[in-house]
Amino acid sequence: MDAGNNGVMTLADRMLPPRKAGVLIPGPQAHAAKLAFEKYFLWKARNGHVRLP
């Protein structure tokens, strides 16, 4: 999730309700992970590597 200059990671036991446990972890490392994933996803889409995870 986006939170300005920081980010928030959500760790949950399931994506859909009913969730038994959920934790929000704020910090700049979450924002950096989001930016890294965005760059990887755009690179993958532009170069046609659709079978990569």
Amino acid 22: pLDDT: 79
**pLDDT exceeds 80 at position 15:** no
pTM (2 d.p.): 0.60
Structure tokens given for 20: 């038994």
- Sign for the pseudo-dihedral over CA of 14, 25, 38, 40: negative
36-46 average pLDDT score:
93
Residue type, 5: N
The rounded distance, in Å, linking the Cα atoms of 53 and 48 is 13
The rounded distance, in Å, linking the Cα atoms of 32 and 10 is 15
Cβ-based burial of 44 (10 A; exposed 0-12, middle 13-18, buried ≥19): middle
**pLDDT exceeds 70 at position 17:** yes
